[in-house]
Each structure stands twice: as structure tokens, then as C-alpha cells.
């Protein structure tokens, strides 16, 4: 009888131990699963945050890039240009080629008129040469130039097709003025802002035999513009100084006539002017009507917009 009780007690104890072991394994398994789920959740959350951050950075970078991309800024925009300039030609061509969406072009006889329209919210942007653009932005608060250029171009002087002798004389003079540093001096004064640089002055002792008439549009600083600081209105600028230096080489006095930009080539072609200089870009279309000298300066077409950060 006692032996039976002892065996029963031993069997009961063994069963308890067995149940305890099973319960421990289940608890351990549950804890392990819960830990794995928690770690997975943390990893997924971290991945989502990282992805969101990268997406935000990417969008920020894209926004910054598009804000400085001339094509993105000009697409579907109201664009102002100066009539007959390469800015006019480039924008007109890009619109025709479908590169600027539903952009609209408005032409003005003067670059400053386009800038004024921009300030009055009649335009979204103005495309013009970098040098006058810098002057316009400096003189008118609340404007800025996009850091990325719209295009680059070479400037040259135009001469009538049938006046090949004058073309050769101009190219010879241009080469000499490049060689002796005169052209660099002029560029340093008007464009590079080199301290101590001075405008061109004719050397003494030149004997002039006749004159040459230069057609220009004096609304394009610093290439050509009106200056009345001396008490009388004068047309001055980089192109005027360079033309005078060329004429000095040829023993000719320089006479400057101020006309609309898109009238310069017709004036040269008809003989009303001997040559044209007005920050003029060499293009195939223009070269069909006039000859161009060797280039003397590289121009950059830029985009002027309102500076929203300054508002």
C-alpha cells in the first residue's frame, strides 16, 4: 500500500515537471517571436524614415535645380526679349521647336523696356546678354540673374558683303589690337572691372583721312550706351572704344549713329553705314546678308527673373 502511494506520488511529480518544461518552452518561443517582430518593426520604420528623408532631399535638390534651369524657368512662361537680338532668335526658335511648352514671347525695342515689364509683372522672365543684364539688375532692386547661362555666343563686327577690302583691313587691325593688349585693356575696363583699367583714348599724332560710320543701338551697356556725365550726351562703351581703336589704326575718324538694333544690318548692307557694332552675335542668318570680322568678345545670354527671396 505504501509502495503504491510512493509510486503515485513519483508519477505525479514527473508529470508536473513535464508540464513545467512545456510551459517554459512556449514562453521562450513567444518571447523570441515578439522580439523578432519588434526588431522587424523598428527596421521597417527606420527604412521608411530613411526613404522619406532621401525622397525629401531628392525633391529639394530637384526644386533647387529646376529653379536655376533656364529651360525649366522659361517653359510655359511669358518671356521678354529685345527685338532682333540673338535672345529674340533663340527664344523664338526654341518655342517653334516645342522646347518651351506654351511659352509666349514679347519683343521690345529696348532691353530696359523688357526689364520694366518684368518688374510690373507683365513678364515672367527676360532673356538678354549677361553684361547689360548685370547693369539692369544692379539698377533695379528685386531682380536676379539665373546662375546657369541660357547660351554662349561670339561677338563680331558686320561689314557689307561687297566691301571685302574693309573686312581685310578690320581683321588686320583686330589682330594687332589683340596682340598689343589694347583689346584686353578695353575688356578689363568695361567688363572685367580690373582696378586701374582705363577706357581707350586715341594716341597723339594720328593723321586722319576721311571717316567711317558705325551703326549701333546705344541701349546695350556696357557695349554701347548714352552718357551725359560730361555735360553733353555721348555714345560710349566697349564697342565704341574698340571701333575707335580700329579706325585709328586705319587713319579714319569714327562717326557713331544710333538706330534700332534690327536696322543695323540693313543700314550696313545699303551703304548708309560702313560697319555695325552692337554686341552682335555671328549667326548663319545674319551671315547671309553681311560679312563678319574675326570675333573680339564672347557673350552670354542669361535669364533675368524676379528675386522672390528679396520680396
Domain ranges of the chain: 70-152+304-310, 157-294
Our CA angle for 111, 260, 157, nearest 5°, is 95
Provide the whole-model pTM: 0.71
Beta pairing, strands 211-216 & 275-276: parallel
User: Tell me, which fold does domain 157-294 have in CATH?
Assistant: D-Maltodextrin-Binding Protein; domain 2 (3.40.190)
**Is pLDDT at 59 greater than 50 in this prediction?**
no
**Is pLDDT at 132 greater than 90 in this prediction?**
yes
Alpha carbon distance 200, 258 (integer Å): 20
pLDDT of residue 68: 86
Answer with the residue of higher pLDDT: 23 or 82.
82
Our CA angle for 238, 244, 250, nearest 5°, is 140
As a whole number, mean pLDDT of residues 44-53 equals 46
Identical fold at 70-152+304-310 and 157-294? yes
**Which grid coordinates belong to 115?**
526689364
User: Tell me, which fold does domain 70-152+304-310 have in CATH?
Assistant: D-Maltodextrin-Binding Protein; domain 2 (3.40.190)
As a whole number, mean pLDDT of residues 163-191 equals 97
> pLDDT-based confidence at 310, cuts 50/70/90?
low
Cβ atoms 241, 151 nearer than 8 A: no
pLDDT of residue 193: 87
SS3 172: helix
**Which grid coordinates belong to 282?**
555671328
pLDDT > 70 in the chain, percent: 78
What values do phi and psi take at 222, rounded to 5?
-95, 10
Amino acid at each position: 500500500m505504501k509502495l503504491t502511494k510512493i509510486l503515485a506520488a513519483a508519477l505525479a511529480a514527473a508529470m508536473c515537471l513535464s508540464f513545467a518544461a512545456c510551459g517554459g518552452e512556449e514562453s521562450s518561443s513567444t518571447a523570441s517571436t515578439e522580439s523578432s517582430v519588434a526588431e522587424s518593426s523598428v527596421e521597417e520604420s527606420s527604412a521608411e524614415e530613411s526613404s522619406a528623408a532621401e525622397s525629401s532631399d531628392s525633391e529639394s535638390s530637384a526644386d533647387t535645380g529646376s529653379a536655376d534651369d533656364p529651360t525649366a524657368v522659361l517653359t510655359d512662361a511669358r518671356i521678354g526679349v529685345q527685338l532682333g537680338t540673338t535672345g529674340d532668335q533663340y527664344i523664338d526658335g526654341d518655342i517653334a521647336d516645342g522646347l518651351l511648352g506654351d511659352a509666349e514671347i514679347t519683343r521690345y525695342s529696348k532691353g530696359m523696356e523688357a526689364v520694366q515689364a518684368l518688374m510690373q509683372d507683365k513678364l515672367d522672365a527676360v532673356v538678354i546678354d549677361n553684361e547689360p543684364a548685370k547693369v539692369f539688375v544692379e539698377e533695379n532692386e528685386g531682380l536676379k540673374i539665373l546662375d546657369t547661362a541660357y547660351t554662349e555666343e561670339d561677338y563680331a563686327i558686320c561689314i557689307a558683303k561687297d566691301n571685302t577690302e574693309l573686312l581685310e583691313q578690320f581683321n588686320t587691325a583686330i589682330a594687332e589690337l589683340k596682340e598689343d593688349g589694347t583689346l584686353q585693356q578695353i575688356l578689363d575696363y568695361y567688363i572685367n572691372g580690373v582696378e586701374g583699367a582705363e577706357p581707350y583714348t586715341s594716341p597723339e599724332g594720328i593723321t586722319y583721312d576721311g571717316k567711317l560710320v558705325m551703326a549701333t543701338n546705344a541701349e546695350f551697356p556696357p557695349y554701347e550706351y548714352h552718357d551725359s556725365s560730361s555735360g553733353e550726351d555721348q555714345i560710349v562703351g566697349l564697342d565704341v572704344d574698340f571701333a575707335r581703336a580700329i579706325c585709328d589704326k586705319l587713319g579714319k575718324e569714327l562717326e557713331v549713329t544710333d538706330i534700332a538694333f534690327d536696322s543695323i544690318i540693313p543700314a550696313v548692307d545699303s551703304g548708309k553705314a560702313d560697319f555695325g557694332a552692337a554686341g552682335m552675335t555671328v549667326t548663319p542668318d545674319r551671315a547671309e546678308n553681311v560679312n563678319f570680322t574675326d570675333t573680339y568678345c564672347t557673350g552670354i545670354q542669361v535669364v533675368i527673373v524676379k528675386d522672390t527671396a528679396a520680396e
